[in-house]
Structure 1
């Protein structure tokens, strides 16, 4: 099951992009991660990915991340529907992730967050009546 989806914004001017999103969202980002050479900033349903053109090149044109409840289950369902593995499941600081190419050619990043991140950024806000886009 997909728990949350992000729209990616790729930028070589991270602070300017984040400032614009803070203005239109009316809040501070809920997530900021450094994955050298990239920096990721989450605000609402937008994930800003900042870096150089060279660092961004391998992931430009991909979608996601789509946060899933169980990445192994998602992989099995995707393979059964004609998808193929671009980058297999591996551990990252926030949990586990993979890139899959869907039968239609779309390449999507799937992430299974660690339980504490799911609680903090998805479940607790939902229990408080706050939609994920307003985190």
Structure 2
């Protein structure tokens, strides 16, 4: 399983109000910004900013991080072999395929396999 990027989640009421300070701290513009269901998201540096009404944000609070991976199927195989379980089945979003999984120790994480265009644009070549 190859992890390409990990985002710390920041929960905010207003995306536009939160971005100026993050631009200053990170020193760059958001790499991604999009709407999903009733929330708005922006990826800036190593933060995934999630904005919307508290009730809408609560639907996603069970995950402690968003992890971008090269192969979602390999993640599922590795996690289940280690005693983890998929808690939200695979679905698609504007960025690619994703699912939520609980690790054997109890941590719940969102795993995303980005569409190739995002990997090419955002992940530095190794």
Please give the range of the TM-score, normalised by the shorter of the 2 chains. over 0.9
| Alpha-carbon offset, residue 104 of structure 1 | 1.1
**Residue matched to 1:65:** 66
| Alpha-carbon offset, residue 65 of structure 1 | 1.2
**Residue matched to 1:34:** 35
User: What is the correspondence of 1:1-135 to structure 2 with a 5 Å cutoff?
Assistant: 1-123=2-124, 126=125
RMSD: 1.2
Unaligned runs of at least 5 residues, structure 2: none
TM-score (norm 2): 0.93
TM-score (norm 1): 0.87
Matched residue pairs, number? 125
Question: Per the alignment, in what secondary structure is the counterpart of residue 6 of structure 1?
Answer: strand
| Alpha-carbon offset, residue 64 of structure 1 | 2.2
| Alpha-carbon offset, residue 92 of structure 1 | 1.9
Q: Distance in 2 between matches of 1:115 and 1:14?
A: 26
| Alpha-carbon offset, residue 113 of structure 1 | 0.3
Asked whether the 8 Å contact 2:36–2:93 carries over to 1, the reply is no
